[in-house]
Amino acid sequence: MADADEDTMPRGPSQGTEDIDLSDETQDFRFLTSISKSESSLPKRGEKDFEPHATALQSNTLAASRDAMHNALSYQRTHAPKGMTVGHYHPESGMAWTMNPKGPLFAKMGHVRSAKDDPLGGGVEERGQRMWLLPEEVLYLVERGTLDVRWPPAVEGEEGLPMSLQGAYAMFIGDGEGGLTLERYSVYSGLKRMGYTVVRAPTWNSPDPPNGADCYPPLRQATWQTGLLNSASLWKMLFAWRSTPSPPPSPTDPIIQPGDSFRSYDAIYHRLALIPFYNPSLQTQPNPSNPEAVETTPPFRITYHIYKPGSTTYKKSSPGTPDFRIAVVNARESHPPTLQQLDALMETCPWDPPKEGANMYAKLRHGYKNVILAVVDQGVASFVRVADAAFGTERVFERRAKQSGGKRGGKGVRGGRGGRGRDGGR
């Protein structure tokens, strides 16, 4: 009876359709056969059969839909003559070059090299006009239809044959050392489609250079170097004995010693802090005369520098400090990083402490150094932030809750309605 009652119960329009994923269904592409080049609007989608019943009618419908889809994709894509940019593949360098590129995308992509660094050399008439594109930039522009890449011509002076998208993937993606892998390109293209500016990091295919002074906290200058103390610093120094708690005792000594007096909870919690913690701000800079290179493993190296969409500080000649640093990791070929690998990766990041007045959770999430791991698993990228945080410096017991400012009042207030004062009441 219970099953029969449940079958007869009315269901809302949203019930029973939560488990249906329309993206997994086979679409009917037969409507593409009625599209003409003169039509400017897209046709509406037709009705679909959601349940296969293995009949000849349904099989013929699916076959006709597939044929219509292949016919629609087989049309030759053309470029407008005014906005067409032709690139030329250079097999020796694995890049492509173009002359006088057109379009807004080239404002943040490609580089014009000098005659000394140009793989083809440089004449006077070509100086400052030949733009070289990296493999990931070429693939992204070819996929968008912005760039038409040509194969090297068999005879010098002639125009090469057009390169297809399949040929571009075969030529520009390679698994060699320092080459562009499919995982790196999937991260690059995904971020570019979202509007980010993506630039190769200096550690793309080489070990990390020796750490500079920007990777460590700034040195604290002595009093005679900073000059006279201001009034706030002098006041803090004179009355520091009232606010500074006593140092924690030795692990072998008792926590409460004779003569100790605790007048606040902060002093008690300070005395209970027996376990030493990690503080990144206490790191010291190495000897500049003998720098040591950081030994990082290839999967856990910074691959790209990322700039936010609409960034006004980025320039090709001087990119500036990136907003994010990403290391691309192949999930099928790499294991989770060890503590030594993460430590070496963090040492290559510049010193970036959190803001002073930020929230405690925002400080811990940002850390003093941070890097993003783009873990790619069969084309699906997951971004994980790894930060060099200091949990011991964020003392929870020193936080003070904000007191709500209530209004003072009550019986007997002068001028109140219920009071019996001189100016109130009856």
pLDDT tens track for 204-217:
887 766 566 667 67
Residue with tokens 């002073």: 356
CA angle 407, 357, 366 (to 5 degrees): 135
Place 22 in a pLDDT band, splitting at 50, 70 and 90.
very low
CATH 3.40.50.410 fits 181-215+265-277+294-399, yes or no: no
Q: Do domains 85-178 and 181-215+265-277+294-399 have the same CATH topology?
A: no
CA angle 173, 179, 183 (to 5 degrees): 60
The b/e string for 115-128 (b: 16+ C-beta within 10 A; e otherwise) is eeebeeebeeeeee
Instruction: Say if residue 321 is exposed, middle or buried (CB neighbours under 10 Å; 0-12, 13-18, 19+).
Output: exposed
Question: 62 in the Ramachandran plot: left (φ > 0), alpha (ψ -120 to 50) or beta?
Answer: alpha
Structure-block tokens of residue 395: 């003392």
pLDDT of amino acid 179: 85
Place 412 in a pLDDT band, splitting at 50, 70 and 90.
very low
Q: Would the pTM count as exceeding 0.75?
A: no
pLDDT of amino acid 251: 64
pLDDT tens, 293-302?
Answer: 567 777 899 9
For residue 337, CA distances in Å to 4, 232, 376 come to 56, 46, 15
* Domain ranges for the chain: 85-178, 181-215+265-277+294-399
pLDDT of amino acid 151: 94
- Which CATH number does the domain 85-178 belong to among 3.40.50.300, 3.40.50.2000, 3.40.1170.20, 3.40.50.150? 3.40.1170.20
